């Protein structure tokens, strides 16, 4: 992982990207340049898709919009920032 960072308003999410052309561009179009992507770790899972751990700086006042865009993207995702296991890993 590389250690802990303390970026302002950073949330950590896990997305499952489909294995098809244009999946990354669709993701970037949904979130960038609106919010800063501070972390991007891609791990292929074969034909099923790819697990992508993403850090995105989203002010609390914009979380509703972020969630709306994430839902519209259509990729499976989970916000990991409050996950206890993730918190332990990052200490």
Other CB atoms within 10 Å distance of the CB of residue 57: 15
Cα–Cα dist 78/66, whole Å: 13
Q: Return the percent helix, strand and coil in the chain, to nearest 5.
A: 30, 30, 35
Longest dimension (CA), the chain: 37
- Tell me: the pLDDT tens digits for 6-39? 789 999 999 999 988 999 999 999 998 899 999 9
Has this prediction a pTM greater than 0.75? Answer: yes
Residue-level length of the chain = 91
Quick one: DSSP state of residue 20? S
For the chain, domain boundaries: 23-50+61-74
Quick one: pLDDT band at residue 3, thresholds 50, 70, 90? low
């Amino acid at each position: 992982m590389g250690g802990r960072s303390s970026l302002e308003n950073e949330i950590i999410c896990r997305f499952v990207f489909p294995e098809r052309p244009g999946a990354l561009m669709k993701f970037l179009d949904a979130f960038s340049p609106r919010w800063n992507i501070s972390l991007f770790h891609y791990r292929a899972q074969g034909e099923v898709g790819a697990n992508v751990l993403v850090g995105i700086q989203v002010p609390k006042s914009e979380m509703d919009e972020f969630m709306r865009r994430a839902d519209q993207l259509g990729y499976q995702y989970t916000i990991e920032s409050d996950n206890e296991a993730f918190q332990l890993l990052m200490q």
